[in-house]
Structure 1
């Protein structure tokens, strides 16, 4: 299993390309090759998926009933701006201008590995979205890492 992890400070080159950190690149599944998928995040960030991870997400979203208006709206917004990117021989990829505007990224970025994907943030926005209070973080950990709540997609046994 390939696990994307870590937090990396990066700079965009003048053409809007970002170099994927070597540790992230080394943990990409071999089957992905140099092909990745870039989408808008739910927060003002970009999300980069290896192709295999993206296929799982893609299939779930495409399985939604297209005759349901709410599902169509979600699909339309979720896939909006989705683009395939390819790493060049030194691990760079282009960030489209529309994606840069959405995320607010200009010259610097933070890449955060989250297991099956990486988020790409404008540094100040990233700091705004982090939990500052360790007690709040501890409460979330307790909530999500104990049996108080069901795992994603699951239910609690009675």
Structure 2
């Protein structure tokens, strides 16, 4: 289970170092083999390969005759990039994906259970500001009765 926010820096080659606290789990779950893909929110999703495979299978099983479904397939599957953690725990984020998410040198890796989100730090801060402006009137129906 991945959780928490970690501030990282992209190096000159476009690599990020996966935080040490996740490396052991990633090595045992998937031998460091990860999938990085685009997300409609303009961030990147980083999945251990075993967690990604059922998602890809499900997306591929959907009809491509629906234009919205086909667009989502193109975005998620078409941008999926296989990456391997190197001996230093780094992964290379492909230039097209870095461009898609607008990643600058300062990035944020956000644990989201079975996956991570990778955000440009400035865009992440905007997401947090948006979350802080959330009001009860904007509450989605599925959160009705939810309490922390």
TM over 0.5: yes
Rg bigger for which structure? 1
Shift of 1:81: 1.7
Q: Comparing 69-78 with 100-109, which one deviates more in the overlay?
A: 69-78
Where does structure 2 lack aligned partners over 5 or more consecutive residues? none
State whether structure 2 residue 102 is matched by structure 1 residue 104. yes
- Aligned residue pairs: how many? 144
Q: Deviations over 1:93-118 (max 9, x none)?
A: 11111111111112111000000100
Q: Secondary structure at the match of 2:135?
A: helix
Shift of 1:68: 4.1
Q: Deviations over 1:97-151 (max 9, x none)?
A: 1111111112111000000100000011011112123x638x759952747xxxx
Instruction: Verify the 8 A CA contact 2:38 2:75 in the aligned structure 1.
Output: no
So what's the TM-score if we normalise by structure 1?
A: 0.80
Instruction: Verify the 8 A CA contact 1:8 1:111 in the aligned structure 2.
Output: yes
Instruction: Verify the 8 A CA contact 2:39 2:75 in the aligned structure 1.
Output: no
Q: Relative to 1, partners in 2 of residues 1:136 and 1:54: Cα closer, same or farther, differing over 3 Å?
A: same
Following superposition of structure 1 onto structure 2, how do residues 59-78 of structure 1 map, counting pairs within 5 Å? 59-78=57-76
Aligned to 1:95: 93
Aligned to 1:117: 115
Distance in 2 of aligned mates of 1:61 and 1:29 = 26
Q: Deviations over 1:72-99 (max 9, x none)?
A: 3331222122100000001001111111
Q: Deviations over 1:3-33 (max 9, x none)?
A: 0111000011111110001112233372311
Shift of 1:47: 0.6
Aligned to 1:35: 33
Aligned-pair RMSD on alpha carbons? Answer: 2.4
